[in-house]
A and B are shown apart, each in its own frame.
Chain A
Amino acid sequence: MSAAGSGEVRVFAQYDRDFTEQADVVVVGSGPCGSVVAKELACAGRDVVLLEEGPPFTPADFVLDGATSMARTMREGGLRATRGTVMPTMQAIALGGGSLVNSAICARAPDFVLDDWCERFSLEATTRRDLDPHYDAVEKFLGIAPTPDAVQGQRNLLFRDGCDALGWSSEPIARNVRGCRGSGECFTGCRARAKQSMDVSYVPAAIRAGARVLTSLQVQRVLSDGRRVTGVEGQVVAPFRGSPSHRFRVDARCVVLAAGCMATPVILQKSDDLANGSGQVGENLQFHPGVSIMGVFPDPVSPQFGATQGYQSLQFIRDGFKLETLWAPPGVLATRLPGFGHALKHTLAEIPRAAVWDAIASTHRSLGRVRARRGSMDPALTWHLHPEDVPILRHALAVIAEIFFAAGAEKIVPGVHGLPEVMHDRDEARVLGSGSYGGKALTFASTHAFCTTRMHGDPRQGVVDELGRSHDVENLYITDTGTYPRCTSVNPMFTGMALAHRTALHLAERL
């Protein structure tokens, strides 16, 4: 072990030549998973270099317009989509990864999910008892707590009222925020500096403990001598434009890939198909497809006020979906409203009386894959919604409609092709749960992606073990949502951080 370095952050304007760095550990990707590893290892006295392709965003860099913000903070300008079944999916490119733009929802994977993981994927130490201490550590560090009523706002509380009226469970969402003001702007970056995204929480702590955080660096290859990895190499890229300039290399005793479920497999494939003895790198891609409905109430809702996603219901979690409230920049939400001309404008004018609620679905049968493209680090994504998963989405829509009408909505806009654009009561909405439409009639998107470098107890069936250690290469680790063997059925970030925390403690002992 070498002495921990003196912490620093480097930005694009500081690179004026090719360069090489040395470290005990190089962590690739500063999202929720990579940042936890970097901080914990730096605190344990290891010399850590954390590499991130995106820039750090300051409040002056946040743009409130949804599409402009997406073009700046998301990969492929926010327009990434799968082929096969076409589904928009978003991954961030920024210091802090997805945590910069996400809604800060922190949910522990339910017991039945962890039991299922252990049973199906020959895992022995990924039970509730094993993971809870790691969840606890992250929870404490980030101040994760249920959203208080003072910042819920009407659009979240109406959801609670609807669930109460139906006798269904619901609860305030636990989030990694301190001093949330309910601005509903999590998607474009928190101007209130309340959201504890990685760039304001784990990354500064890592730097304080001595980590070097190098931003605007795109890792292209993991270097190896066959049996062991020796570091990574890549290029300096300009913020937003991605244009390359200088080359860099980081030599390290251990490489931790945390570039996210889409990028980590691409890096491995571009490194001569490294760590792929199982043939599973880039396979098994799963999502939580999300469907949503806008409901219009008789009285003003002022939906711009309230925690971005403040309330949830786990009532139907075993049926395959989790219910939540939702807000995003109005221009993003309005993209799915039906109609033309004055009719469309009339619908827009109803947004101040509206709320949007969504469901994220566990669609285990719907699989895809990630493949490297020639001349680019962007992945080629294919994914297919399995016909047997469609009923889950239909059921979810029917349930959301029920909650809206139970909460007093005067109408809903379900956004299903071929069905009425507006529905005024439960009877009309019943068709949402019927088998009268297929997957192509639905509008869905997903920001939760998993399984492309899945963990498995059997080296022939998975890329890493429970600790994130490659089955093939002894000093290569992976810790991002790609290592999940199946989806979490709830929002994935917290579980990724808990698993990363466990990997970090293991590495601190081993190195």
Chain B
Amino acid sequence: MVPWVLVGAVVGYGLVRVFVGHPTPPAGLGRLGRGEAAFVAAAADALYPPGGAVPPSGCEAGIPGYVDRYLDRVPPQTRGLMRALFFLMQHATLFFPAPGPTGFRRFSSLDHDQRVAVLSGWATSRFFPRRFAFTSLRAVLTMGYFADPEVLRRLGLAPYAFETPVCEADLLYPPIGSPPEAIAHRPEDVSRPSAPPPPLDLDGPLHPDYREPAGARP
């Protein structure tokens, strides 16, 4: 009897450590569960803390929301692998603790320095699969960071606006998901430039999606 109680207590404790007590995730996330959202937010701010050469932090740049939308777009098998990766990295510190007396906690419950220490452990591991897991995580978070127009503007790398000429193909294809009636162009719209168009103007306006919004953060 006593051993079973002990086993039950250990299993119960394990389940609580893994599944319970995550902070409430930001509203509007569809794919990421509580634990996943907590992990992604913690990892995002460990990789991209607030301030420094590019001010927005990972969370300010909207990485958790980005990852959530990204999971929605990738094929189910890839989604499953990414979720497994988040789960693994979130809970690995329950078996291989982070430095310090409070290191035996899941990743999102660690403090900033502990998170950085854990991630650098993955990044520099001699064990290739562990390094690869980190590289995959970093890739997703970094692409999320760069999806923030503010980040690109701060770096001076935001795309420019320029006119898209109409070509013969634009008379053939409707926008994806629409029927042929949605083709907006007619033969007379086709551009027939007499000279090559000028190179991109680096002093020109930014693409509308990347312009500074009114009331932008300082």
Contacts and interface: CB of A to CB of B under 8 A. Distances in A.
Interface stretch (A32-40, A50-58, A155-163, A260-268): A50-58
A192 B199 contact: no
B197 A192 contact: yes
Nearest to B56: A345
Contacts of A345: 48, 52-54
Contact of B164 (A11, A56, A59, A334): A59
B169 A71 contact: no
A239 B177 contact: yes
Contacts of A71: 70, 73-74
Interface stretch (A199-207, A269-277, A394-402, A496-504): A199-207
Given A58-B175, A183-B160, A330-B152, A340 B46 contact: yes
Contacts of A348: 53-54, 155
B49 interface: yes
A64 B144 contact: no
Nearest to A342: B52
Contacts of A61: 175-176
Contacts of B159: 64, 183, 185, 304
A348 B146 CA distance: 10
Given A181-B197, A183-B162, A305-B199, A331 B177 contact: no
Interface string B168-203: 111011111111100000000000010011111010
Interface residues of A, number: 70
B154 to A, nearest CB: 8
B31 interface: no
A472 interface: no
Contacts of B193: 179
Interface string A147-176: 000110000000000000000000000000
B96 interface: no
Interface in A343-397: 344-346, 348-349, 351-352, 378
A410 B201 CA distance: 27
A240 B73 contact: yes
A305 B159 CA distance: 10
B47 A182 contact: no
Contacts of B116: 340-341
B4 to A, nearest CB: 41
- Classify chain B: how many residues form its interface, as a range: 35 or more
B178 A332 contact: no
A434 interface: no
B132 A86 contact: yes
B9 interface: no
A199 B75 CA distance: 25
A95 interface: yes
Interface in B113-151: 116, 119-120, 123-124, 128, 131-132, 135, 138-140, 142-147
Contacts of A342: 49, 51-53
A440 interface: yes
A495 B128 CA distance: 36
Contacts of A248: none
A348 B172 CA distance: 41
B48 A330 contact: no
B174 A150 contact: no
A443 B135 contact: yes
Interface of B: 46-49, 51-54, 69-70, 73-75, 77-78, 116, 119-120, 123-124, 128, 131-132, 135, 138-140, 142-147, 152, 155-157, 159-160, 162, 164-170, 172-180, 193, 196-200, 202, 207, 209-210
5 contacts: A179-B193, A179-B197, A183-B160, A185-B159, A341-B46
